[in-house]
Amino acid sequence: MTRREKKAKGEGRPEELGVITTLSVPVVGSVGKTGSWRVFMPVKDESRCNKCLICWIYCPEACISKDIEIDLDYCKGCGICAVECPRRAITMVKEEKSTGGAG
């Protein structure tokens, strides 16, 4: 049976039929606030950034704004933004964690 015949009969998997049934749209903090367990954090070099928005597109947590501000409450430190940035404007640096003690 051809794809067209399957479609006419309402059969076949969506991807076989060329039908998009769902769209995945990330929302800020899909895994919750991550600041407490993130190991690496992204640091942007303003002088290198040309606002191309590639990091904004790729960030799986949607925690980079269109002004290229990174919301560290929700960044999980995956480093995708740093890898995808064509201008190497983002560097992943190890977090300095507070031990919770005084000072």
Q: Which residues bind ligand SF4 (CB under 6 A)?
A: 42, 44, 49-55, 59, 61, 63-64, 68, 70, 75-81, 85, 87, 89-90
State the amino acid at position 38 in one-letter form.
Answer: R
How far apart, in whole angstroms, are the C-alpha atoms of residue 23 and residue 50?
Answer: 29
Of all helices (H) and strands (E), which one includes residue 57? helix 54-58
> Based on CB atoms, which residue is closest to ligand SF4, 19 or 83?
83
How far apart, in whole angstroms, are the C-alpha atoms of residue 22 and residue 14?
Answer: 10
> Based on CB atoms, which residue is closest to ligand SF4, 20 or 75?
75
> Based on CB atoms, which residue is closest to ligand SF4, 4 or 66?
66
